[in-house]
Structure 1
Amino acid sequence: MPALATTHSLNDYLKLPISRYREQLKQGNAKYIEVSYTHRSKPYQYSIQLSKSACHYGGYRYWWLCPKCSQRVSVLYCAGMYVCRHCIGANYGSQLQQPIDRLFSRADAIRQRLGWQSGVAHGIDERPKGMHHSTYERLVNEHERVTAKIWQQTLDKLGCTS
């Protein structure tokens, strides 16, 4: 069973993606980035060490080295200091979803891909332009299976099943 909603999600923290410094990193061979900010009325100023790895088709990809554990990551999260998600101990939002919420999320994703409006009920719509017939049929069938599970879980919760 997923953790309760009282557990912190990564959405609760400010993010510092390495991509924010892409242009600055193109300039030269950086070993660290200086950060300066205020968090909860307390000023912070320090440097975060960088690492880089070679890409298959040339060039390099830069990574943060977490100031706390030195793990190589692409995003740091602000918990006073910027640290990796492992040091914060927070989960992704999807890890905190209950099983019924996962079903609703999957149904919404399918509806969006098919160009249908949100909601459990839908009419027979046309296949989206450019979508292969077999893909359309597979998504429609999956949507029917997911909505059937949603209805079944709802009825089970209400005690309406025999």
Structure 2
Amino acid sequence: MPAIATTSSLNNYPRLSISSYREQLRQGKAYSIELGYSYGGKSYSYSIKLDNTACHYGNYRHWWLCPKCSKRVSVLYCAGLYVCRHCIGANYGSQLKQPIDRLFSRAEAIRRRLGWQAGIAHGNQGRPKHMHFSTYYRLINEHNKLVQKICGATMVAINKNKGRASYER
């Protein structure tokens, strides 16, 4: 767990999305874009190469080519130079979640889909309009199983902490 807590997330880095240059790229055939910025008190000025792929219904999709590894990516992150997430070695926020947090996230997603309030204790407000009965019952069953897992994991953690606290005294 300490390694996960110290691992950096992509939220810690400024982003440069290719979509922010969409209008500029539509005007002509660009092979690179010049960047000039300041980061950490140091000035940077360089060009980032571009690539494009043909879409199925015409036109092109543009990509950055990472200055460090030349991978085709849609978002670059600033760690001094703008590079891809693989070069930074950072993870998405969801990759840093603990197992109990994943259970809470999934239960919350089901509650949102069912139109319930946030929190484990909910008032069943009935099936949402236009939701199939089989989908509704599947989601209810999945939610109940998740709540049981969450309560079980919470009780295990409480019992571990009680034992540790009484032992330390």
Q: Which residue of 1 aligns with 2:6?
A: 6
Q: When the two structures are superposed, what TM-score results if normalisation uses the length of structure 1?
A: 0.93
Shift of 1:138: 1.4
SS of 1:5's partner is helix
Unmatched 5+ stretches in structure 1? none
Q: Which residue of 1 aligns with 2:20?
A: 20
Q: Which residue of 1 aligns with 2:78?
A: 78
**Distance (Å, rounded) in 2 between the aligned partners of 1:51 and 1:28:** 13
Name segments (4+ residues, structure 1) moved above 6 Å: none
Q: Which residue of 2 aligns with 1:36?
A: 36
Larger relative helix fraction: 2
Q: How does 1:1-162 map onto structure 2 within 5 Å?
A: 3-159=3-159
Q: 1:115 to 1:122 in 2, by over 3 A?
A: same
Shift of 1:129: 2.1
Shift of 1:130: 2.3
Q: When the two structures are superposed, what TM-score results if normalisation uses the length of structure 2?
A: 0.89
Identity %: 67
Bigger Rg over Cα: 2
Shift of 1:128: 1.9
SS of 1:106's partner is helix
Q: Render the CA deviation track for 1:25-74: whole Å, top value 9, x for unaligned.
A: 11111101111211122121111000001111111111000001101111
**Distance (Å, rounded) in 1 between the aligned partners of 2:3 and 2:138:** 32
Shift of 1:159: 2.5
Paired AA for residue 45 in structure 2:
Q
SS of 2:128's partner is coil
Q: Is the 8 A contact 1:3 1:96 kept in 2?
A: no
Q: Is the 8 A contact 1:110 1:139 kept in 2?
A: yes
Number of aligned pairs? 160
Instruction: Flag the structure with more relative contact order, 1 or 2, with Cα contacts below 8 A and sequence separation at least 6.
Output: 1
